[in-house]
Every structure is written in structure tokens, then in C-alpha cells.
A and B are shown apart, each in its own frame.
Chain A
Amino acid sequence: MTVVRTRYAEVHPGLGDGADPVTTEIIRQGLNAAADQMKQSLIRTAFSPIIYEALDFAVAFYDADMCMLAQAPTLPAFMGTLGFCVREAVEGVGGPAALSPGDVILYNDPYGTGSHPQDAAMVVPIFHEDVLAGYSVIKAHWLDIGGKDPYCTDTIDVHQEGTIFPGVKLYDAGRLVSDVYRMILANSRMPEMVIGDINAMVAGARTGAEALGALVRRHGLGTFRRCVARMYAHGEALVRGWFERLPDGVYQASSVIDSDGVTGRPIPFGVEVVVDGSSVTVDLTGCPDQVGGPVNCPLPSTVAAVRIAVSFLAGAGEQPNEGHFRPLELLTRPGSLFHPLRPAPCFMYGIPSDHAIELIIRALAGAVPGSVPAASGGDINALVWWGNREATGEPWADGAPHPVGQGASRSADGASALMYISESATRFTPAEVWEARNPWRIERLALAEDSGGPGRHRGGLGLDLSFRVLEDQYLTSGLARTALAPWGLEGGLPGRPNRLTVEYPDGRAEEFSLKTRIFLPRGAVVHLRTGSGGGYGPPEERDPEAVRADLREGYITPGHARRHYPHAVGEPGITGPAVRRSPR
């Protein structure tokens, strides 16, 4: 068995040793602030709601060695994955020697970005006095760049998923390469939106390049590089400090992915986490072979999933840089679900990667009991709609993730209706904005009563969203975790899984999970019921006052209370028995 070991060693050992700690801190703050400027610029100029509303993008800086200097708080799912794009994009155009000031490289190969071709990266090299000082990079979701459908859940190879730009110069020394530009537009169903987003991304990446250039000018390239080396060492020390506290051991967990989107067959898989001193190794070599449908997870996104799971728990609460990732090692097997090889389809890469995040967290429950939450709804519940407006014939498209209930923890009930952690910076689109834009009417946008997994602490509630379509249109459902109920922990009960039902005007109703191009005739109603959080601890240990408060506010119904919390709801006027405190 071939095993690939992904780890990040120090590039220039000892370089940061003599760096001034004060200047290091000033540069660290400056990098994070510059990344934020790049993010703001993109949000305010983007054309598609997936960027400006759902914030489905990532922005970061890399140094000349392609180590991550800073990433603005955006989509955690893209955490640290932009390094792969930068490397592949630069290689694609002939390596660092082929770069000049004013270049903008476009790259969207799924095996280098980790995601689908719609996630396009723009890489801008930054020069300081003719020396390559680093890169600014933005990866953002374009509404459409070809592919068999605007959003695909049933592809059988990567070529069905979109047009691939394997690292090409969109700007060459400041001059637009119109051949490439015209190719992009010719391959999109929504060329106007894509033009707008390209402009926004180029402007954003250039804003970032200027900000980083100014920082390097202010301190000089030599000082900058030494301080950055020290900054990485600092980030590494922070994360190692946390890992050091974990008991050494091997921790495992396993689960099942609903389906590959093509055959409908479930995919069981497992993770193994090895804690050894201040290092953590996540071993995914035991996972099944790559599958025939688009739920394969390219290596960069597997790396991101591991980083999210581990760094969120490590809880440093810092904007990450390369150093934070150094104590982490990942083992994968080429040709497997978490390290697929071309041309395996991978459009829905987020399904295995999101699932792996929660599974790694669950495995770590064995190492640090009490410090991880029960399962959440576990998916971003992506839906994509498109059609042609009846009045004008104009094409339109829109897409959005939807929030889920969060798992309960040792200290608190789970939060209701938050985006899944891999898209935690993403926002839910207001109904009024939707209705002003798309031919819909939202009929219900509510918390789902009784949905939270019962427990000493209750899981967060899922969301019930119903909308009626006012014109014929298509829907693609990217739902995962529709079969497996979100697990509870320490005796807590499971929550509800995700579920999508379409109610047709003739009264017929049908359920979908992963499904491409569902035709919605005018008058059809789509009901999305997102998953809730699992409970934590036995329900009979729930504080009766908390149960009564849930009843009073209508988070649970009397029937639910009688079934799961009989101790709290005696006859009227009679209070339930006192809470039984667990011995632990």
C-alpha cells in the first residue's frame, strides 16, 4: 500500500532565531490586517450572492516558499488549502522564474484547489525590488463555469464538472490576456456574473498585494523574512502546547456517508487519530477506494478537514499561519476516498470532508472526554436553483447553504440553526432579499420544535424552511447526512437528520438527498428540514426547570417532554423529582 505523508516542516531552520519579537508581533498583526482588507474589498465588489452574502471564498497571503503568512477569517473549509493552489498555479505557468509584476494567474483544477472547478483561484505574485516576496491569493465560488449542470451531484468523472484552467495567466505583466478571458466567458452559463466576480477577485488580490508590498517595504525584505520565520515558530509552539496536554494514544471513530450520488450505495469509513507528545497524526489510509460518484475528497480538502477539526479544538483562537499546522501530520492512500486520483469525480467533495471533521472530533472525545460536543446536523445543506425569468427570458441562478442545530456539550445546550462549522462564517440569505431577487415566496422560516436531541443538555434545533416557487425552475439538492441521525454523547440521544421534500402542485410529494436538476413547476413547494444537534448526557438528568422553560417557550411540545423528560413534567402543581446528579 502506498501511503502519502502530508506534513509541513520548517523551510529555513533557524532563520527566525534572532528576529526582534516586537517587530515580529507588528508584522503578524499587519499581515492579518492586510488579509482582512483583501476580504473586505472582495465582499464589497463581488457580483454573486454566493460570494457577497454566503462568503463562499478564502483570501490569504503566502511567502515565496509558499508557506501561509495569514488567512482572513472566512470559510474554514478552505483553511490553509490555498497553498496547494499557489504551488500548482505557479508551476502551471512555468514556475517562479516565469512570473513578472502585474501577473494574475487563474487556477481551478480540483485536484489542486481541493474543490470543484467553480472554486477558482487568482494568484498574484508580489515583488519587492525585483525579488519575489510572496503571493496574494483569492479562491471564490463562481456561479457557473460550465459542467454538465450548474451544480452536480451525479458526475462520473471530473470532466463533467466544469472547465478546467490548470494555471494560466489571466493578466500577463498587467495586460489582460483576452484569449483566456474569452474562453472563461464562453464556458459559463452566467458570463455577466462571472465577469463581475473576476473583476472583484482581481481587484481584491491586487489590494492585498499592495498591502503586503507596503508591509515588506516598511520593514525591509530581510527583516520581514526573519520575523515571519519567528512568527511560524510562535504559531507552532501555541498548537504544540495544546497537543502536549492530550494523553498519548490511538483514537478511532467510524461512520457512514449516505451515498456516492450515482449508485445510491452507502459508504462506510473510519478515522484514526494518533496523539504522540506534541504531535498529532490523522490516519485515513483505512478509508475505502475512490468511488464512482462525486463524493471523493481531493487531498487539499482532506488536509483542510483535519486542520479544522484539530485547530478548532486546540482553540488557540488565533488567525492561523503555517506554523499552526506544523504539528499535524496526515496519512492518506492515493486512489482512496480522501486522496482520489484524476479523473475521479469530486464535485461534492464537501460531503466527505465535512463528515470527516465531525468524525475526527468524535474520535478525540476518547482523548479529551467532555471537551468535544455531540454531533450537529453535520452538513451545509447546499441547494442551488436556476431557470429563466418568465417575463424577460433572462437566465438566473442562486445557491445557498443552510444552518443546522449544533451538538450539546458538557456545559451547555447546543446552539440552534447555525451554519455547519466548515462554513461557520457564512450567512443565511434574508427572505426579503431572496424574494426581491428570485421568483419565490418563503412560506415558513422557523426553528423545528422537538428536533433537538434529548439529553442533560439538549441539542440545538434544526431549521424548517418552506418556499413556493412562482415560476418554473430547477433545483439541485446537495444534502448529506440524511440517513444518519446526529449522534449524542455520554448518554445523550440523537437529533434528526437532514431532509428535503418537494410537494408538487398535484399533491404528490417526493424526498431527495443528493439529486441533480429536480424540475420544480410553478406552484411547487420545497420543504427543507435541516438536521439538529445530538444531546449530551442522559435526558433524565436534565434540570426540570430547563425542561419547563423549553415547554414555556415552545422549543419542545408537551408530548416530547412526557416521552423524554418524564421526571420534569409531573401532574400540574406537582414538581418533578429533584435532578439526579451524575457521579462523574
Chain B
Amino acid sequence: MTTVIGVDVGGTFTDLVLHDAATGEIRVAKRPTTPAAPERGVLAAVDAAVPPDLLARCRHFVHGTTVGLNALLERRGATVGLITTAGFRDVLEIRRGDRDDPYDLFWTPPPPLVPRRLRLEVTERVAADGSVVRDLEPEDVLRAAEVFAAEGVDAVAIVLVNSYANAAHETRAAELLARAGFAGPVSLSHEVSGEYREYERTCTTVVDAFVRHRMGPYLHDLDRELRTRGFAGDLLVTRSGGGALTLAEAAARPFETILSGPVAGAAATARLAASLGPSLGIGTAVAADVGGTSFDTALVEDGRLPLLYQGEVVGLPLQSPWVDVRSVGAGGGSVAYADAGGLLRVGPRSAGADPGPACYGRGGTEPTVTDAALHLGMIPRGHISGGIELSEDAAARALAPLAGPTGIDGVDAVAVGVIRIAAAHMAQAVRGVTVERGVDPRGAAVVAFGGAGPVFGCLLADELDVDVVVVPPNAGNFSAVGLVQADVVRSAARTLVRPLDDAALPVIERLAETLFERLAQPEAVREVDLDLRHRGQEHTLTIPVRPAEDDVAAVSARFSEAYHRAFGHTLPDPLEVVTVRATSRVVLDDARPLVPAPPSGEGGAGRGTTRLWSFRRESFAEAPVVRREDLRGVAEGPLLVVEPTATTYVDAGFAVETHESGSLVITRKDRR
């Protein structure tokens, strides 16, 4: 086993988790995020929790960063120049012609990342089958280089039409650009994405060029700072598609890290489900991560993360693998309000960390989910959060004004309504990730974590008709745990539209081999996936294959099974290959256990009883408050289980016990 540090930079806090292999000890630290220079927050967390001798023993430093995402959100990145095929200069601006809000007459797309004057055309043309229709005109590239030099372009993206089928012109254009004296980074679309759809590929390539400018220097600075503190291991960066990239790879392909924010929690859930699934008797798990501003959920089947191959961030499509985590604006800070028609609504706006919920007493006056939970006793009264004693009076004062315009009778009923609506939002997001994949959520277990996740576990169980809720150890910091369990993963893809027949498999095998050579991880476990569809369809399902061993019948059978599961029927139509995907995975340490709970003794808020709302009974009851480490045997709800980073709410009709792994397992005794 090796000693690993994971540091995740979130919107509000930078979280650190350290697993010391020598002692089995777990350390956690939390420091405010420093958006202007995120490395300061990271280093502050390191300095607070990790003495130099321990840092020197760390083999891996796994970092989840939002540097790339922030560069896009703030539009602060490189000045990018784009070289494209003659006639296609405006692809980036024409987009797909659709609107983010189809009902908004005035909707306007965000300005393109590359202004029109820096989008330059070169004479050349490749056909869809890869044949060259017109040779590349070198003069055009040289002219572009002159414009880029005059305009102070930092980075260049080269995206030529149909380059997924033949990349020779892109490679040649890059050579010419270098020869013309352009010394900055160049992103080639066939290396970045390799998939068809010129707008999406252009966008991905431009994003790569845009954020690389920020990401490379940031990572190298952080690495240097860590080394001056004695760190001698490898700096790894989490990836949108799960796992982590080496520093060099992350600096070279930063777009692969942009959607990595919510992945760690899903990864931790997958690890938990893989290791505990058998003993708990659960095969399918749903991650339910409730934070301050959002609810993040993902479906984990057989311990595997669900992947998608095109994501979107701030309206920009990215052709990059990413873990299918859905976020909805229903978190502890989500604001409740009465709309113009007199209905009670919750979110997506959040009171955030500042001013925060009304009960924080920091100037917030709008009622939030946290205020409602406090009012109902779901968060223990007298609870200290971030050094602030939560104010029940402030919560009630904020909730009361909602009664009038909605016609709801009294503050208690308002609070109940806010929690029920928030839970319904969460349940819908869960239905989205499950039903769309043909999975009935009723057979799954809900894994509830994040500061407020365990508050909602029982409500989600009733909303979704689920019988088992698992609250992992260290529930409030569970996401960061996902970091210290990452593998090193690299992936590449190439569009290859052709029938799936006997001749296809050798072609796929050769293409996959080429992709693996580019990935250059000789020791790695190799995985090949195919995007397949029925001929005539557009949308694909991604199916794992072993090109050297599988025959067409085996691949087709696997596709049909997946298709039936997703859509409830099968079709006799022949299959078509669309994209070949190669993934190489180096498992850092197979033996890493689930991180156990931190040493007890810090204590939650006291013991005793509290006045707690039961949603099942629709009334208040005097219910026990139990410290997590004091929980023995099976306890029946209603009760609260408290620990330093989270509170678990157990309603009447549910029972809770501690599993040997340290997780709390809540079982639904009777169905509603």
C-alpha cells in the first residue's frame, strides 16, 4: 500500500484527505478556496494537515482542480487562433443553430472563444472517406502565421473538415506553422477528439487551446511548491471521465479535466458499491451527494461508473469522456420562494456560503432548505457549523412569510413543504440517470453523502420506492475519498463509420492498436469500446469489446442486450460501427481499502433527544439523538445519528444499523 493525498478544490472549500499507508491513519483538512490563485488554498490545506516527513512519504498527490473550468467560466485564457478549411470559418459561431432556452425569443449565444478575425481559412479538402479532394495550400498556412504573429495569438487550434478520416493535412499544417516561426502550443483536432461533427470537434479543440495556457503553468507551479516542501512522488490530476492523468498529460490535454468536479463522489460510490455490494446484497447503487448548492447523482452498476462521450460546459460542447453525473439546483443553500402563481418553489438559486441560509445569522434572510431542516429538527438544534451556532429563530422568521402567498398553513407546514419539494427534485434527477439507462431505481441502493445527503436518505427512499440507504463512513468528506482511490487513465477515440462485419474486427483491432501506441502506457490494462448503432440510426450505445477474441455474433449479442435494457425492445437491423475508443488504465494500488471513519472523539452535537418531524407520521415526536460511534445493534426511527461532518435522519418506518465496514445501513421496514 502507498500513502496518498487527495486535494479537491471546490467552489467554497478546498478539501484534503490523506491516507497514511504506514499507520492506516486518515487525515482531513478543509481550507477556504482561493479563486484568484487556487494553489494557495491547496498549499494551505497541505501545510495544515501534512508535516514534511509525511509529505515526503507520499507516493501520489491526486488533485481535483477547477482551473480549466474557471478559465472558461471567466473567459480568461489564451488568445487562440483557429485554422480551418476554406468555407468553414464560421462553424464555431454558427454552432448548431439551436437555443439553450427554446422558448426565449431574445436568446443570444455566448460570444465564440475565437473572434472572427482570428479564424482563418486554408485551401484544402478531405472527403468523408479520407480521400484528398484538394491538397493543402502551404501559402495559406504561412499567411495565417503572419496574422497570428501580428495579433499576438498565444495558442493555435487546427481543425480541418473530415480530419477524423484523414489527419494528414492537420499534421502538415502544424509543421508549416512551426516552420513559419509560431512557437506557442498547437492543438490538432484529430489528436484532441478524433470524432466527427465539426462544430463539436472545433469547440473541443479550441477549448483545449484556450485553457492549456492556464493549466500548464498552474500545475507546474504547484508541483514545484510541493517539491520544495519535500514531496517526491507523482502529481496526478483527476479526469472528467474518471481516474487521473499524469501532470504531463493533464498539461497537454487539459480539456479532459474540465468536467471532473463532481466525479470524485461518483468514483467513491463505485468503489464502495464494488467492495460492499456483495455483503450488503446490492448490485446497483445511486450516488446521492447533497452539498450547499446542488444535488449530484450518478448510477453505478456492477461497481462501474457510467460514462458519456460528449459533455457540455457553459454552453460549449466537449467531445471528451465524462462520468454521467447529473446536477440539479437542490442543496442545503437552495432558496425557497412563492412564485407569481402562488406555488411553493425550491431552487435552483442558492444562498451559497455567503450570506448562506438565514439560520447562519450572517445576514441571510431568504429561507433555504437548511432552514427548513433545522426547523424540523433534522439538523440537531444547538449544532455548530463552521463555528456558527445555528439560529432556529432566524430560520422560522425566514420561512414564515412563505405561508401567506402559497396558502400553506403555518411555519411547520412550510418547512415540510420545502423539504418535500427539494426531495422530489432530487428524486427526479435520480430517475433521469436510471430510467434513461433502462434501470428501475427500485432495485438500487441509495448511497447518501455530502453534508446534507444523509438528511435526505429516507425521503429519497420513499420518493423512489427504494429499500436500502447506505451512509458511508466520513459521509461529509466522502467525495474527497474518491480522489485517493484514482487509477491513472488515458483514452483516445477515432470515428470509423462502417458496417460491423467479419472484416471490421481486424480493422478495429489495428485502429485500437494505433490509439494505444499514442497513449504510451505499456504496463496498462487495455480496454476497447465501440460506439455501435443500428444502421440508419444516429445515436449509439458504447459496448466493450475484445477485438482479438470477439466475433461479430458476440459483439452483436452484447449490443442487443444493452439495447433491450435501455429501450425495451430489440431490432433485427444490421449494426454499424461509429467510433472506436481505447482506454488504458494503470491501477495505482489495488489493495487500497475504503477509507475508514476518522478517529472518534471529536463528537457530534451531544446525545439525548430532540423534537423531530416524522414525514411518515406527519407530526413531531421526541426522538433520540445518537452519536454515530455509539450506535449499537438495530435502532428504529425516528432518530438522528450525528457525526462531525454530517447528520443522518432516520424516519419512522426505517431502521438503522452499522455495517461491519463502518457504513450505516438504513432499511425500509414498511413501504408507503
A104-B565 Cα distance, complex, nearest whole Å:
22
Q: Given the known A-B contacts A313-B105, A432-B196, A432-B198, are A52 and B128 also in contact in the complex, defined by CB atoms under 8 Å? A: no
Interface centre among A233, A235, A373, A441 (most CB of B within 10 A): A441
A238 at the interface (CB under 8 A from B): yes
Q: With CB as the reference atom, state the residue of chain B lying closest to A361.
A: B105
Task: A235 to B127: give the CA distance in the assembly, Å.
Answer: 52
Instruction: Check A441 against B343 for contact (C-beta < 8 Å).
Output: no
Q: How large is the interface on B (under 10, 10 to 19, 20 to 34, 35 or more residues)?
A: 35 or more
Contacts of A234 in B (CB 8 A): 341-343
Partner of A412, one of B88, B108, B125, B162: B108
Which residues of the partner chain B approach A416 to less than 8 Å between Cβ atoms? 93-94
**With a CB–CB cut-off of 8 A, which chain A residues contact B407?**
21
Instruction: Tell me what chain B mostly uses at the interface: helix, strand, loop, or mixed.
Output: loop
B-contact bits for A413-434, CB 8 A (1 contact / 0 none): 0011111010011111011110
Q: Is the CB of B569 within 8 A of A199?
A: yes
Cβ of A391 < 8 Å from any Cβ of B?
A: no
In the docked arrangement, what's the CA distance between A196 and B413, Å? Answer: 50
Q: How far is the CA of A28 from the CA of B345 in the complex (A)?
A: 11
Would you list which residues of chain A between 282 and 312 have a CB under 8 Å from chain B?
Answer: 311-312
User: Which among A43, A445, A554 has the highest number of chain B CB atoms within 10 Å?
Assistant: A445
Q: Are A430 and B537 closer than 8 Å at their CB atoms?
A: no
B441 to chain A, nearest CB (A): 10
Q: Which residues of A contact B537 (CB under 8 A)?
A: 45-47, 52, 196
- Docked Cα-Cα span, A211 to B435, in Å, equals 9
Contact A446–B425 (Cβ < 8 Å):
no
C-alpha spacing A180/B97, complex, angstroms: 38
Contact partner of A426 (CB less than 8 A), chosen from B97, B107, B196, B436, is B97
Chain A CB within 10 Å, residue with most, of B90, B196, B197, B408: B90
CB-defined interface of B197-208 with A at 8 Å, one 1/0 digit per residue?
111100000000
- Residues of A contacting B523 in the complex (Cβ-Cβ under 8 angstroms): none
Q: Are A415 and B96 in contact (CB under 8 A)?
A: no
Q: Per-residue 0/1 for A306-327: is the Cβ within 8 Å of any B Cβ (1 yes, 0 no)? A: 0000011101010000000000
Q: Are B420 and A26 in contact (CB under 8 A)?
A: yes
Assess the B161–A432 pair: CB atoms within 8 A. Answer: yes
Closest Cβ of chain B: how far from A49's Cβ, in Å? 6
Q: What mask results when residues 523 to 565 of chain A are scored 1 for a CB within 8 Å of chain B, else 0?
A: 0000000000000000000000000000011110000000000
Cβ-defined partner of A25 (8 Å) among B94, B200, B343, B571: B343
Residue numbers in A under 8 Å from B425 (CB-CB)? 29
CB <8 Å contact, B341 and A415: no
Interface: B424 (CB within 8 A): yes
Q: Can you name the residue of chain B whose Cβ is closest to the Cβ of A36?
A: B432
- In the assembled complex, the Cα of A405 lies from the Cα of B595 at a distance in Å of 56
| Inter-subunit contact A417/B567 (CB<8 Å) | no
Are A33 and B103 also in contact (CB < 8 A) when A45-B567, A211-B435 are?
no
Q: Is B327 an interface residue (CB 8 A)?
A: no
- Interfacial chain B residues near A361, Cβ < 8 Å: 105
Separation of A466 and B88 alpha carbons in the complex (Å): 11
Query: Which B86-105 residues sit within 8 Å CB-CB of chain A?
Result: 87-91, 93-99, 101-105
In the complex with contacts A421-B105, A446-B87, A463-B94 CB distance below 8 A: yes
Quote the shortest CB–CB distance from A326 to chain B (angstroms). 12
Which chain A residues lie closer than 8 Å to B539 at the CB level?
43-46, 52
Q: B89's contact among A235, A373, A446, by CB below 8 Å, is which? A: A446
Closest to A193 in B: B536
Q: In whole Å, how far is A321's beta carbon from the nearest beta carbon of chain B?
A: 11
- Residues on the B chain within 8 Å of A44, using CB: 539, 566-567
Residue A192 is within 8 A (CB to CB) of chain B in the complex:
yes
Contacts of A271 in B (CB 8 A): none
**CA distance in complex: A44, B568 (Å):** 12
Q: Is the CB of B99 within 8 A of A432?
A: no
Query: Which residues 303-360 in A have Cβ within 8 Å of B in the complex?
Result: 311-313, 315, 317
Q: Is there an interface contact between B98 and A432, defined as CB atoms closer than 8 Å? A: no
Question: Given A196-B534, A418-B99, are A21 and B417 neighbors across the interface (CB < 8 Å)?
Answer: yes
Residue of B nearest to A46 (CB): B537
CB-CB under 8 A from B486, the residues of chain A are: none
Let me know if B593 is at the binding interface, CB within 8 A.
no
Closest to B105 in A: A312
Segment touching A, from B109-117, B630-638, B655-663: B109-117
Known A49-B538, A206-B568: A433·B99 in contact at CB below 8 Å: no
Residues of A within 8 A of B116 (CB): 447, 553-555
Complex Cα distance, B408 from A411, in Å, reads 40
- Nearest opposing residue in chain B for A53, CB measure: B538
B341 touches A237 (CB 8 A): yes
A514 to B198, CA, bound (A): 30
* Chain A residue at minimum C-beta to C-beta distance from B436: A40
- Chain A residues with CB under 8 A of B340: 237-238, 241
Given A45-B537, A441-B133: A424 touches B421 (CB 8 Å cut-off): no
Partner of A415, one of B107, B127, B435: B107
Q: How far is the CA of A24 from the CA of B197 in the complex (A)?
A: 42
Contact A428–B96 (Cβ < 8 Å) = yes
The reply to whether A445 and B88 contact each other, CB–CB distance below 8 Å, is: yes
Contact A430 B341 (CB under 8 A): no
Q: In the complex where A409-B106, A446-B87, A552-B117 touch, is A432 in contact with B97 (Cβ < 8 A)?
A: no
Chain B residues near A411 (CB, 8 Å)? 106
Q: Tell whether, in the assembled complex, residue B97 and residue A419 are in contact, meaning their CB atoms are under 8 Å apart.
A: yes
A33 touches B99 (CB 8 A): no
Whether A207 pairs with B93 at a CB distance below 8 angstroms is no
B239 close to chain A: CB less than 8 A = no
Interface membership of A435, Cβ < 8 A? yes
| Proximity string of chain A (34-64) to chain B, C-beta cutoff 8 Å, 1 when within and 0 when not | 0011001101111111001100000000000
Nearest chain B residue, comparing its CB with the CB of A323:
B341
Query: Which of B93, B343, B345, B432 has most A Cβ within 10 Å?
Result: B343
Task: Report the bound CA distance from A206 to B568 in whole Å.
Answer: 10
> Which residue of chain A has the shortest Cβ distance to B566 in the bound complex?
A44
B interface footprint on A222-260 (CB within 8 Å = 1, 0 otherwise)? 000000000001110110010000000000000000000
- Which residues of A (184-228) have their CB < 8 Å from a CB of B? 192-193, 196, 199, 203, 206-207, 211
* Interface residue B34 (Cβ < 8 Å from any Cβ of A): no
Q: Which residues of chain A come closer than 8 Å to B133, judged between CB atoms?
A: 441
Residues of B within 8 A of A412 (CB): 106, 108
Question: What 1/0 flags go to B165-207 for Cβ under 8 Å of A?
Answer: 0000000000000000000000000000000111110000000
Cross-chain contact A76 with B103 (CB below 8 angstroms): yes
A382 to chain B, nearest CB (A): 13
Q: A77 CA to B198 CA in the complex, in Å?
A: 28
Q: Is the CB of A433 within 8 A of B196?
A: yes
CB-CB under 8 A from A432, the residues of chain B are: 128, 161-162, 164, 196-198
B645 close to chain A: CB less than 8 A: no
Max chain B C-beta neighbours (<10 A), residue from A73, A234, A430, A463: A430
Q: B344, A21: Cβ atoms under 8 Å? A: yes
Say yes or no for A97: interface residue by CB 8 A criterion. Answer: no
Does B428 sit within 8 A of A, measured CB to CB?
yes
Question: A442 on the interface (CB 8 Å rule)?
Answer: yes
- The one of B87, B341, B534 that contacts A442, using a Cβ cutoff of 8 Å: B87
B573 at the interface (CB under 8 A from A): yes
- Docked-complex contact A435 and B538, CB < 8 angstroms: no
Judge whether A33 and B115 touch: CB under 8 Å: no
Chain B residues near A415 (CB, 8 Å)? 107-109
Q: What are 6 A-B pairs with beta-carbon distances under 8 A?
A: A211-B431, A403-B94, A417-B93, A432-B162, A432-B196, A442-B161
> Residues of A at under 8 Å CB distance from B?
21-22, 24-26, 28-30, 33, 36-37, 40-41, 43-49, 52-53, 73-74, 76, 192-193, 196, 199, 203, 206-207, 211, 233-235, 237-238, 241, 311-313, 315, 317, 361, 373, 402-403, 409, 411-412, 415-419, 421, 424-428, 430-433, 435-436, 441-447, 463, 466, 552-555
Supplied contacts A21-B343, A418-B98, 6 more A-B pairs, CB within 8 Å: A21-B344, A26-B421, A203-B568, A234-B341, A444-B87, A555-B116
Which 10 pairs of residues, A with B, have the shortest CB-CB distance?
Answer: A403-B97, A22-B417, A234-B341, A428-B97, A444-B87, A427-B96, A425-B102, A553-B116, A435-B128, A33-B428
